[in-house]
């Protein structure tokens, strides 16, 4: 019989710690996209996070990617910071992977549906009216 120590045992925490930040980054991308569509001022705020990316401003034959650079920067930042935090917290934890897989797939579907404007716009506009962002 092999006696496994805590360091030799495989834990499921790193799997969850690696996949949850993907959902959070995807959610950040969706939310920042809808925020940037509300007003030109909010679009400029989102765009300001990505001014460091080549091609984020300018004109010419290749044009400008505009506020998309800020959306990607925000999503990348959320992914990196949350992955680091979750990895440090959950590297020796065990989670039920079957339940996590269901949560992950459902979350991915919901966030994907959030990019479809006919479904998301009524919700986005309702929230924007509540907080006075329009």
Interhelix angle 13-38/97-114, rounded to 10 degrees, is: 10
The mean pLDDT of 68-97, rounded to a whole number, is 95
Q: What is the pLDDT of residue 48?
A: 92
Residue 84: CB atoms within 10 Å? 12
Q: How do the domains of the chain map onto residue ranges?
A: 14-131
Q: How many CB atoms lie within 10 A of CB 40?
A: 8
Instruction: Give CA–CA dist 119/27, Å, rounded.
Output: 15
Query: Is residue 50 within 8 Å of residue 73, measured between CB atoms?
Result: yes
pLDDT score recorded for residue 51: 86
Q: What is the pLDDT of residues 15-61, one digit of tens each?
A: 999 999 999 999 999 999 999 999 899 999 999 999 888 878 876 56
Residue 63's pLDDT band (boundaries 50, 70, 90)? low
């Amino acid at each position: 019989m092999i006696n496994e120590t805590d360091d030799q045992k495989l834990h499921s925490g790193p799997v969850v710690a690696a996949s949850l930040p993907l959902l959070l980054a995807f959610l950040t991308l969706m939310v920042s996209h809808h925020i940037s569509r509300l007003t030109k001022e909010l679009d400029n705020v989102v765009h300001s996070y990505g001014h460091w990316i080549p091609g984020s401003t300018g004109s010419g034959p290749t044009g400008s990617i505009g506020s998309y650079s800020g959306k990607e920067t925000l999503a990348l930042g959320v992914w990196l910071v949350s992955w680091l935090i979750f990895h440090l917290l959950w590297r020796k934890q065990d989670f039920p992977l079957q339940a996590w897989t269901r949560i992950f797939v459902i979350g991915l579907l919901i966030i994907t549906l959030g990019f479809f404007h006919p479904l998301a716009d009524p919700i986005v506009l309702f929230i924007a009216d509540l907080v006075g962002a329009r």
